[in-house]
Amino acid sequence: MNAHQIVEAVLFASDAPLTADELARADEGLDEDHVEDALQRLKAEYDDAERAFQLTELAGGYQILTRPEFAPYLERFDNVPRSTRLSGPALETLAIIAYRQPIGRLEMEYIRGVSASGVIRTLQDRRLIDIVGRSEGLGRPLLYGTTQHFLEHFGFKSMEDLPHPEELPIVLRERVPLGPESEGSEEAEEEQQTELLPAAQEYDGTANEEEGGQAEEGADTEDESV
Amino acid sequence: MDLTLTKPAPEDEGFLLVDTEQFQGPLDLLLHLIRTQDIEIFDIPVSKITAQFLQAIRGLDAADLDGAGEFLEMAATLIHIKAQMLLPRPLDEEDGDPRAELVRRLLEYEQIREVSQRLRAAEADRSRRHGKGYIPARPRRAVAELPLETTWDEVFAAALLVKMPIPRNREHRVTTRPVTMEEKAVLILDALKHSSRVEFSKLMDGFRGRSHGVMTFLAGLELTRRGILLLRQTRPFSELWIYRRDDGVPDEPAPATEEDDQGADV
């Protein structure tokens, strides 16, 4: 049995992405390098032979998925109605969580200007986000983050596949840090704290003062007095 | 985004109606006002925008406190900023501009909106690639078809099929001697004295009128409930057979039991 055959068998039987590490568990003789070689070989074989499926990198792993051009044929068999597409509010909220995780509900609501509790529930039900901890702030509110299923749902290899801030047409990077948390540059984190946390606190404490530096100072003192 | 605005002439601030339900929230609406009028976002004419925003939300459904509250909160913020703009500003322009935080929020929201549209595109691409298990398994079916069990509906339908001559005289008549269930019960029991079973239609021989059919049927149900009879029907709408119970009817009593319960309700 060749390594690439073993890897192929495991991938064939799986309905979710598997990492190279997980694939290597199939046999004692396999290590991650073998698996990587096997994956490259399989990928090339499928492409060369013009198979109807591809070896697809997804959520940090690999999965055999059909090529998009075959979707119309497969969808004829899909007699279970599925609501795969997310609503506008859900997508906006998810975008905020993806870039700002871990993040609490009040901060999401401040950024979008609307209530978020219903949308959070929907996203949790669909396993796209999960509770990742609690903030140190007043009331120790829950913090949310995206899940591996989030990457799978959008076909991302990793968080790096999210649009980078410099790709976006609106330029305000100095003031609005917007980048995948996984990059985690210290500078960005600092900016987040100075820019976002005061904003959220301000929203907590004084909903009627939302205008820049003066209000931020005011909010700090108010928070202490609460 | 399907943002439609009953297009105002920009110079006419008096007329501006927006369906707030079409917007994701107050920031969305505010951005729309700014972007459709080519307003420089770093120098928002607060007075004009505030007036337009207040006009736009005039039609808010006051009963929808959650939705309306978000727009009203923004309205309050705008008015607050407008008031601050009238006050003398500190020398440090950058920090002192009362609009700064609002501008930051608007740009941040615009960026989120952009990202969410990219996510939507990624989702659409991904949804056209399918993994194992996408096509659902065939629904499981029992290998052998189960024998039909008679239901109340079917029994009732068969009873209604019994031909009743339409009375020529359609006027309502109060009869002194209504058909009773008791007499029909006696009729059924008499018929079953000589044979172990009898067709329902046979019991109707010599009787005319719907009340005879109904009362015979009810009598049959009542006697079934008391365990004296069994009702049996092989197919929907086929003949209804009435069996004497003590004879040991070659039939499982399950359908009859079901009819019993139903009959008792009637």
What digits encode the pLDDT tens for the residues B209-239? 788 888 888 888 888 888 888 888 877 778 8
Instruction: Verify cis geometry, omega within 30 degrees of 0, for the bond prior to B167.
Output: no
Task: Give chain B positions within 8 Å (CB) of A172.
Answer: 104, 107-108, 111
What is the reported pLDDT for B95? 58
* Buried-exposed string A115-150: b where 16+ CB fall within 10 A, e elsewhere: bbeebbebbeebebbeeeeebebeeebebbbbbbeb
Question: For the residues B42-48, what does the mean pLDDT come to?
Answer: 88
How many angstroms separate the CA atoms of A199 and A216, rounded? 7
Task: Give chain A positions within 8 Å (CB) of B28.
Answer: 113
Candidates A65, A94, A165; nearest CB to B131:
A65
Measured between CA atoms, the residue of chain A closest to residue B22 is A88
What is the reported pLDDT for A82? 61
How many angstroms separate the CA atoms of A79 and A69, rounded? 19
Which of B223, B100, B209 lies closest to B162 in space, CA to CA? B209
List beta partners, residue A63: A56
Task: Give chain B positions within 8 Å (CB) of A54.
Answer: 129
Question: For the residues B200-204, what does the mean pLDDT come to?
Answer: 85
What is the reported pLDDT for B184? 87
| Domain extent listing, chain B | 20-87+98-122, 152-166+179-265
Backbone angles phi, psi at B88, to 5 degrees: -65, 135
Max CA distance (Å), chain A? 70
How many angstroms separate the CA atoms of A134 and B200, rounded? 74
Q: Which residues, numbered 55 to 94 in chain A, qualify as contacts with chain B under a Cβ-Cβ cut-off of 8 Å? A: 56, 63-68, 71, 74, 77-80, 84-86, 88-89, 91-92, 94
**Which of A154, A171, A178 should be substituted to probe chain B, the one whose Cβ sees the most B Cβ atoms within 10 Å?**
A154
Measured between CA atoms, the residue of chain B closest to residue A91 is B116
**Is the CATH number of domain B152-166+179-265 1.10.10.580?**
yes
Q: Which residues, numbered 118 to 177 in chain A, qualify as contacts with chain B under a Cβ-Cβ cut-off of 8 Å? A: 152-156, 161-163, 165, 168-170, 172, 175-176
CB pair distance less than 8 Å for B115 and A163: yes
What is the reported pLDDT for A157? 93
CB pair distance less than 8 Å for B123 and A176: no
Rounded to whole angstroms, what are the CA distances from B132 to A2, B6, B191? 23, 49, 66
Rounded to whole angstroms, what are the CA distances from A134 to A106, A131, A196? 13, 8, 17
| Domain extent listing, chain A | 3-75, 88-225
Q: What is the DSSP letter of A18?
A: B
Measured between CA atoms, the residue of chain B closest to residue A76 is B135
**Is the CATH number of domain A88-225 3.90.1170.50?**
no
What is the reported pLDDT for A169? 66
CB pair distance less than 8 Å for A207 and B73: yes
What is the reported pLDDT for B142? 59
What is the reported pLDDT for A147? 94
Higher-scoring residue by pLDDT: B19, A202: B19
Q: Do domains A3-75 and A88-225 have the same CATH topology?
A: yes
* Backbone dihedral region for residue A50 (phi beyond 0: left; psi -120 to 50: alpha; all else: beta): left
Would you call A1 an interface residue with chain B, using a CB distance cutoff of 8 Å?
no
Residues 6+ apart with CB under 8 A from B42: B103
CB pair distance less than 8 Å for A178 and B101: no
**Helix (H) or strand (E) segment spanning residue B169:** none
Candidates A74, A155, A208; nearest CB to B126:
A155
Higher-scoring residue by pLDDT: B114, B97: B114
Q: Closest approach of chain A CAs to the CA of B147, in angstroms?
A: 29
- How does pLDDT run along chain A (226 residues), one tens digit per residue? 788 999 999 999 998 999 999 999 998 888 888 899 999 999 999 999 999 999 999 999 999 999 999 988 888 876 655 657 898 999 999 999 999 888 999 999 999 988 899 999 999 999 999 999 998 888 889 999 999 999 999 999 999 888 887 777 664 433 334 444 434 344 434 334 333 333 333 333 333 333 333 433 333 333 433 3
* Backbone dihedral region for residue A86 (phi beyond 0: left; psi -120 to 50: alpha; all else: beta): beta
Q: Quick check: B1 pLDDT over 70?
A: no
What is the reported pLDDT for B233? 83
CB pair distance less than 8 Å for B115 and A78: no
**Which of A97, A109, A211 should be substituted to probe chain B, the one whose Cβ sees the most B Cβ atoms within 10 Å?**
A211
CB pair distance less than 8 Å for A178 and B84: no
Q: Closest approach of chain B CAs to the CA of A138, in angstroms?
A: 22
Fold of A3-75: Arc Repressor Mutant, subunit A (1.10.10)
Q: Quick check: B165 pLDDT over 80?
A: no
Residue B2 burial class via C-beta count within 10 angstroms: exposed 0-12, middle 13-18, buried 19 and up? exposed
What is the reported pLDDT for B172? 67
Question: For the residues B135-163, what does the mean pLDDT come to?
Answer: 74
How many angstroms separate the CA atoms of B85 and B87, rounded? 5
**Helix (H) or strand (E) segment spanning residue A119:** helix A117-125
**Which of B70, B108, B114, B123 should be substituted to probe chain A, the one whose Cβ sees the most A Cβ atoms within 10 Å?**
B108
What is the reported pLDDT for A61? 93
